[in-house]
Amino acid sequence: MNKPVQIKRDENIDYNIQKYIKPEYVYIPLENKNGVVYKHLVKEGDYIYKGQVVAVNEGINFPIHSSVSGYATMGNNKIIDDGKKVKCIVIKNDFKEKYQKSKLSVKEKYTKQDFIDALRENGITGLGGSDFPTFLKYNIDKPKCLIVNAVECEPFVSCDKVVIHNYSDCILEAIDMIMEIMGIPRAIIGLKENNLDSINSFKKYLGTYPKIKLGFVKDAYPNGWERNLVRELLDIEYDKYPTEQGIIVSNVSTIYAIYEMFKYNRPLTERIITITGTGIKNRRNVKVKIGATISEIIANLDGYNNLKNPIFIAGGPMMGNSLPVDDVIITKDLNAVLVIEDDFEKNLPCIKCGKCIEVCPAGIYPVFIMNNGNNIDKLKELKPGKCIECGLCSFICPSKIEVREFVRMAKVKVSDR
């Protein structure tokens, strides 16, 4: 088994949450980073309520909602967090935050089916970066354990820690409600063993919830990866998904979104993201509307420091994507934006040290995949599809080669056949 890697961290966290929830426009993308396409349900000139369904993934009847009220225009293309330019519905905010009347009643009691329907209808997805519809995870028989992933192992990213610091009581209440509704006998909140702030935030309220325990992993990357977490906490392996073993894994910010759903019965239209890096004047965690642009949010945070060659990284430094510009929209899966100086040495030749193979948690051979990019038969044998895009191969490479990008390209080539 490959060993997780120790990575230097920036752990100076400001736990106050700044709000920037008044963007002038929001952009609702009609495609996500996983290639899922949404059908738009509104047309230019329509008045849109906050929380109104504006597009749908028809395959699974999964809706996307507007995060503001205002008037719709169509056809603008914007960049999403994987660098793709996609068509968006654009809504000009009228700053009235008008909800449809049907969205103003709160449900007192949920059956399991009500809960699954509510997760779908309110558009709850994995906020840890997966963008996976949460209702699909919870739609299983006799779940044995709920693991709440609060490991947040990427350096610089602190939005989960900030959510825990401010809302640990709400998170515990939501876990308890989910266990009751779903009949789950036990829950474990997975944390890094040295994350004392989060541990203490939970310990303050944990006494009321005897079926919820804390579980600890070492502070190393990628210990927040679902497979590592399940192995470390329960000593269980699975093939594709933990649900095969009756285990549901949800990110801690997703659990907080479920808490808000229980409390307000309203769709997920806002999230907290980390905005940080040497290029940012005022580094912090910000509550933002889904569909707002990063450029507008950063301008509202006092703007940029002067850097020679700034790069924008959507997501953390390990798994994120570097982007040439800041005109990128906030999607539910975007947990961080990092702005740093692009002073990396690049394009040195591979010295065949094998370090990328040593660290790869998926147990594949990144350097071989890179060197066989045009040999489809060989690529199929090397299984690039198992890559979880953790970025460790690029991080560890002494020649500073972006090995992960070669593996990603290979993944696409093989999946196309």
Residue 242 is a binding residue for ligand SF4 (CB under 6 A): no
Residue 404 is a binding residue for ligand SF4 (CB under 6 A): yes
Among 109, 308, 352, 417, binds ligand SF4 (CB under 6 A): 352
In angstroms, give the least distance from the CB of 394 to ligand SF4.
7
In angstroms, give the least distance from the CB of 276 to ligand SF4.
22
Whichever of 163 and 338 has its CB closer to ligand SF4, that residue is 338
> Of residues 281-320, which lie at the interface with ligand SF4 (CB under 6 A)?
none
Q: Report d(CA 219, CA 190) in Å as an integer.
A: 12
Token duo for residue 271: 């999230």
Q: Which residues pair with 328 in a beta bridge?
A: 79
Among 104, 353, 376, 412, binds ligand SF4 (CB under 6 A): 353
Radius of gyration of the chain (CA): 21
Q: Report d(CA 275, CA 284) in Å as an integer.
A: 6
Task: Give the H or E element holding residue 408.
Answer: helix 403-415
Residue 411 is a binding residue for ligand SF4 (CB under 6 A): no
In angstroms, give the least distance from the CB of 271 to ligand SF4.
25
Task: Give the H or E element holding residue 88.
Answer: strand 85-93
Token duo for residue 289: 């509307």
Residue 355 is a binding residue for ligand SF4 (CB under 6 A): yes
Residue 379 is a binding residue for ligand SF4 (CB under 6 A): no
Among 80, 286, 387, 410, binds ligand SF4 (CB under 6 A): 387
State phi, psi for 384 to the nearest 5 degrees.
Answer: -60, -20
Whichever of 60 and 353 has its CB closer to ligand SF4, that residue is 353
Residue 397 is a binding residue for ligand SF4 (CB under 6 A): yes
Residue 402 is a binding residue for ligand SF4 (CB under 6 A): no
Q: If binding means CB under 6 A, how many residues of this protein chain bind ligand SF4?
A: 29
In angstroms, give the least distance from the CB of 393 to ligand SF4.
3
Q: Is the dihedral of CA 318, 321, 323, 329 positive or negative?
A: negative
Residue 360 is a binding residue for ligand SF4 (CB under 6 A): yes
Whichever of 132 and 368 has its CB closer to ligand SF4, that residue is 368
In angstroms, give the least distance from the CB of 162 to ligand SF4.
26
Among 6, 196, 398, 412, binds ligand SF4 (CB under 6 A): 398
Residue 354 is a binding residue for ligand SF4 (CB under 6 A): yes
Residue 391 is a binding residue for ligand SF4 (CB under 6 A): yes
Q: Which residues pair with 367 in a beta bridge?
A: none
Residue 405 is a binding residue for ligand SF4 (CB under 6 A): no
Residue 401 is a binding residue for ligand SF4 (CB under 6 A): yes
Do you know the residue count of the chain?
417
Please enumerate in sequence order all residues whose Cβ is within 8 A of that of 310, keeping only pairs 6 or more positions apart, or say none: 279, 304, 339, 340, 341, 342
The C-alpha torsion from 279 through 283 and 286 to 290, rounded to 10°, is 10
List, in sequence order, every beta strand (DSSP E) within 101-225.
145-149, 186-192, 212-217
Q: Report d(CA 343, CA 302) in Å as an integer.
A: 24
Residue 366 is a binding residue for ligand SF4 (CB under 6 A): yes
> Angle of helix 159-182 relative to helix 252-264, nearest 10 degrees?
60
In angstroms, give the least distance from the CB of 409 to ligand SF4.
12
Among 17-25, 128-136, 252-260, 349-357, the segment contacting ligand SF4 (CB under 6 A): 349-357
> Of residues 168-207, which lie at the interface with ligand SF4 (CB under 6 A)?
none
- For residue 128, count other CB atoms closer than 10 A to its CB: 24
Give Cα separations from 356 to 212, 397, 410 (angstroms).
Answer: 38, 6, 16
Contact yes or no for 392/318 (Cβ under 8 A): yes
What residues make contact with ligand SF4 under the rule CB under 6 A? 350-356, 359-362, 364, 366-367, 387-393, 396-399, 401, 403-404, 407
